[in-house]
Amino acid sequence: MLLCKYLESDGCLDIINNQLLKATDPVTFNDPFEMYPGIIGKPDKGKTLQYLYNDLLPRLSSATKKALPDFNGKFVLKNDDAFSKKVEQNLKPGLMEEIYKGLERASQTLRIICFCEPNEIEEGDDILLWSHYGDKHKGIRIFFETDFIKILSTNLFQVVYSFDRACIDITDLNSSVFNKNVEDAYRNTFKTKNKSWFYEKEVRWLINLQECIQENGHSFIPLSPDAVQRIDFGCKCEKDKIISILNSILNNNAYRHVKLYKALVHEHKFSLNYEEIEEDREIDQVENFLD
- Enumerate the domain spans of the chain: 2-290
Mean pLDDT value across residues 70-74: 48
Mean pLDDT value across residues 54-71: 57
pLDDT value at 74 more than 60: no
Rounded distance between C-alpha atoms, residue 41 and residue 258, angstroms: 53
pLDDT value at 112 more than 90: yes
Rounded distance between C-alpha atoms, residue 129 and residue 246, angstroms: 23
Rounded distance between C-alpha atoms, residue 24 and residue 37, angstroms: 20
Rounded distance between C-alpha atoms, residue 77 and residue 58, angstroms: 14
Give pLDDT, residue 186.
Answer: 87
pLDDT value at 78 more than 60: no
| CB-based contacts of 101-104 (< 8 A; 24+ apart in sequence) | 102/35, 102/36, 102/37, 102/186, 103/26, 103/27, 103/34, 103/35, 103/36, 104/27
Distances (CA, A) of 140 to 13, 25, 55, 212, 248: 10, 22, 55, 24, 14
Q: Where does the pLDDT of residue 50 fall: very low under 50, low under 70, confident under 90, or very high at 90 and above?
A: confident
Give pLDDT, residue 233.
Answer: 96
Give pLDDT, residue 79.
Answer: 54
Question: What residues form DSSP beta bridges with 205?
Answer: 113, 156
SS3 readout for 83-116: HHHHHHHHHHHHHHHHHHHHHHHHHCCEEEEEEE
Task: Supply the DSSP string of 185-248, one letter for each residue.
Answer: HHHHHHHEEEGGGGGG-EEEEEEEGGGSEEETTEEEEE--GGGEEEEEE-TT--HHHHHHHHHH
Instruction: Tell me the pLDDT of the chain averaged across its residues.
Output: 84
Q: Where does the pLDDT of residue 77 fall: very low under 50, low under 70, confident under 90, or very high at 90 and above?
A: very low
Mean pLDDT value across residues 172-189: 84
Specify the range with the lowest mean pLDDT, choosing from 41-50, 148-157, 202-211, 218-227.
41-50
Write the DSSP symbol of residue 121: P
Specify the range with the lowest mean pLDDT, choosing from 73-82, 124-133, 168-177.
73-82
Percent of the chain having pLDDT more than 70?
Answer: 82
Instruction: Work out whether strand 38-40 and strand 167-169 pair parallel, antiparallel, or are unpaired.
Output: parallel
pLDDT value at 75 more than 50: no
pLDDT value at 234 more than 70: yes
Specify the range with the lowest mean pLDDT, choosing from 17-31, 151-165, 211-225, 275-289.
275-289
Give pLDDT, residue 278.
Answer: 75
Answer with the residue of higher pLDDT: 91 or 13.
Answer: 13
pLDDT value at 111 more than 70: yes
Rounded distance between C-alpha atoms, residue 185 and residue 139, angstroms: 36
Specify the range with the lowest mean pLDDT, choosing from 111-125, 135-149, 150-164, 220-234.
150-164
pLDDT value at 76 more than 50: no
Give pLDDT, residue 281.
Answer: 52
